[in-house]
């Protein structure tokens, strides 16, 4: 049987499916605060576990009091006067998503979890009033990768969060860095609070310091394989896909990034032939979103052509989206190492 191709997949998601899909991705299905291992050299990580757990406990306590959402929507006072939002502030690879998902798991339902891109797609698909109505039925909304680099979408989601927090919905979020902020270790709390403007006072900031845990004491990305080795890997691992790199880039341009995850359903290993540096920023940013969905699903990656660290040019890495590109390389490197482990 010939190998499957991601380029043959064009997933569609209906409105109800978009709502039901708002759960942590497979990599974070089983994470909990107890499985987060703080770096002993970074005290803020242990403190973040305590603060995130306390935030989840506040949601549980608020749920036990069963406040009237009707009163909240029309100006009724809620009994819990603490911040309705929590923002996890830190560089990539410090476990922010682990903490965000753990908060979601510990909090009572109904609850929703999604990336910023998935949230904006949901609003586009349902319309703003219906999105507010559907999400207001939840006790907590967790947002990973809050995009600070798109002013229009940021304003849209800020308006959405204002409606939701006024309705009594708790919000937990992580974010990237604004595109004109170049330092990879730079924290984004000031940017996040400024961009959400009137909502800033509703968010408490939880700092998570530290180096990228994915590469502490580990070797660099494995070198690209030969075409024969790539074909052998695809033939060995059931559920593999094989695609030409350029063809995949063209295919990603035809799909909304919120569909990238569904495109990977049932895939156990991704093989890319002829990897080379992304030709422009638009392609590069789509590859970042694709890498995030691969990582969410813990799908190993095998490539031929150029090494993974060459995926983004020096100009890109030293430009405004530096943090995104470095995170993508970090995640893809981890997935490439996974591909070298014995198949169970």
Tokens of 46: 């242990």
328 assigned to some structural domain: yes
Reading across the β-sheet that carries 301-305, which strands appear in turn? 240-244, 269-275, 301-305
Residue among 272, 188, 213, 215 at smallest CA distance from 41: 213
Q: Which of 91-105, 150-164, 178-192 is predicted most confidently? A: 91-105
Residue among 187, 173, 202 at smallest CA distance from 114: 173
**How crowded is residue 244: how many other Cβ atoms within 10 Å of its Cβ?**
16
pLDDT value of position 316: 92
pLDDT tens digits, one per residue of 259-291? 899 999 999 999 999 999 999 999 999 999 999
Q: Are residues 203 and 293 both part of a single domain?
A: no
Q: Are residues 67 and 203 both part of a single domain?
A: yes
Q: Given 181, 211, 241, which residue is the final one in a domain?
A: 211
62 assigned to some structural domain: yes
Residue 216 has pLDDT above 90, yes or no: no
pLDDT value of position 219: 55
Peptide bond just before 128 cis, omega within 30 deg: no
Compare 42 and 155 and report the one with higher pLDDT: 42
Residue 143 backbone dihedrals phi, psi, to 5 degrees: -120, 115
pLDDT tens digits, one per residue of 86-110? 999 887 778 999 999 999 999 999 9
Paired sense of beta strands 269-275 and 301-305, if any = parallel
CATH number of the domain encompassing residue 166: 3.40.50.300
Which distant-in-sequence residues (6+ apart) come within 8 Å of 144 by Cβ? 97, 100, 113, 114, 115, 116, 173, 174
Q: Given 176, 211, 246, which residue is the final one in a domain?
A: 211
12 assigned to some structural domain: no
104 assigned to some structural domain: yes
Q: Are residues 164 and 207 both part of a single domain?
A: yes
pLDDT value of position 66: 61
Q: Given 180, 211, 242, which residue is the final one in a domain?
A: 211
Q: Are residues 182 and 246 both part of a single domain?
A: no
Q: Are residues 112 and 138 both part of a single domain?
A: yes
Residue among 101, 246, 70 at smallest CA distance from 168: 70
Sign of CA dihedral 151, 196, 118, 239: positive
Average pLDDT over residues 66-75: 49
pLDDT value of position 222: 86
For a pLDDT cut of 70, what percent of the chain falls above it?
86
Average pLDDT over residues 75-85: 67
158 assigned to some structural domain: yes
Tell me the C-alpha distance between 315 and 75, whole Å.
50
pTM, full prediction: 0.77
Contact indicator for 123, 156 with CB cutoff of 8 Å: yes
For a pLDDT cut of 90, what percent of the chain falls above it?
57
The domain in which residue 265 lies consists of 216-339
Q: Are residues 186 and 240 both part of a single domain?
A: no
Residue 207 backbone dihedrals phi, psi, to 5 degrees: -85, 135
Q: Are residues 49 and 166 both part of a single domain?
A: yes
Sign of CA dihedral 37, 49, 98, 284: negative
Paired sense of beta strands 203-207 and 269-275, if any = unpaired
pLDDT value of position 306: 96
129 assigned to some structural domain: yes
17 assigned to some structural domain: no
pLDDT value of position 215: 52
Can you tell me whether residue 76 is helix, strand or coil? Answer: coil
Q: Are residues 154 and 172 both part of a single domain?
A: yes
Q: Are residues 254 and 318 both part of a single domain?
A: yes
Please give the full DSSP string across 54-69, using - where no structure is assigned: HHHHHHHHHHHH---H
**How crowded is residue 58: how many other Cβ atoms within 10 Å of its Cβ?**
18
Average pLDDT over residues 9-29: 87
Rounded mean pLDDT of the chain?
86
Domain count, the chain: 2
Can you tell me whether residue 189 is helix, strand or coil? Answer: helix
Residue 70 has pLDDT above 50, yes or no: no
Which distant-in-sequence residues (6+ apart) come within 8 Å of 62 by Cβ? 78, 79, 80, 139, 168, 170
18 assigned to some structural domain: no
Tell me the C-alpha distance between 122 and 154, whole Å.
14
């Amino acid at each position: 049987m010939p190998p499957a191709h991601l380029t043959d997949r064009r997933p569609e998601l209906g409105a109800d499916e978009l709502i039901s899909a708002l759960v942590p991705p497979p990599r974070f299905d089983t994470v909990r605060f107890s499985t987060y291992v703080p770096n002993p050299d970074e005290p803020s990580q242990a403190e973040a576990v305590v603060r995130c757990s306390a935030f989840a406990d506040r949601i549980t306590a608020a749920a036990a009091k069963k406040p009237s959402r009707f009163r909240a929507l029309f100006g009724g006072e809620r009994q819990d006067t603490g911040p309705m939002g929590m923002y996890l502030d830190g560089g990539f690879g410090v476990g922010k998503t682990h903490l965000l998902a753990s908060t979601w798991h510990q909090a009572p339902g109904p609850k929703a979890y999604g990336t910023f891109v998935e949230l904006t797609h949901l609003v586009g698909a349902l319309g703003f009033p219906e999105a507010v109505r559907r999400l207001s039925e939840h006790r907590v909304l967790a947002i990973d990768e809050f995009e600070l680099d798109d002013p229009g979408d940021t304003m849209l989601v800020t308006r959405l969060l204002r409606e939701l927090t006024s309705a009594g919905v708790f919000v937990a979020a992580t974010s990237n860095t604004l595109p004109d902020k170049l330092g990879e270790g730079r924290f984004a709390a000031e940017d996040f609070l400024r961009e959400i403007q009137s909502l800033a006072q509703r968010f408490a900031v939880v700092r998570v310091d530290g180096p990228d845990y994915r590469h502490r004491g580990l070797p660099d990305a494995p070198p690209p394989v030969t075409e024969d080795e790539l074909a052998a890997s695809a033939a060995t691992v059931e559920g593999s896909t094989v695609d030409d790199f350029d063809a995949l880039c063209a295919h990603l341009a035809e799909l909304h990034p919120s569909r990238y995850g569904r495109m990977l359903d049932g895939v156990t290993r991704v093989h890319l032939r002829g990897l080379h540096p992304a030709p422009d920023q638009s392609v590069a940013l789509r590859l970042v979103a694709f890498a995030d969905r691969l990582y969410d699903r813990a799908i190993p990656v095998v490539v031929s052509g150029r090494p993974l660290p060459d995926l983004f040019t020096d100009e890109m890495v030293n430009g405004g989206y530096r943090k995104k590109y470095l995170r993508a390389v970090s995640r893809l490197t981890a997935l490439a190492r996974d591909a070298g482990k014995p198949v169970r």
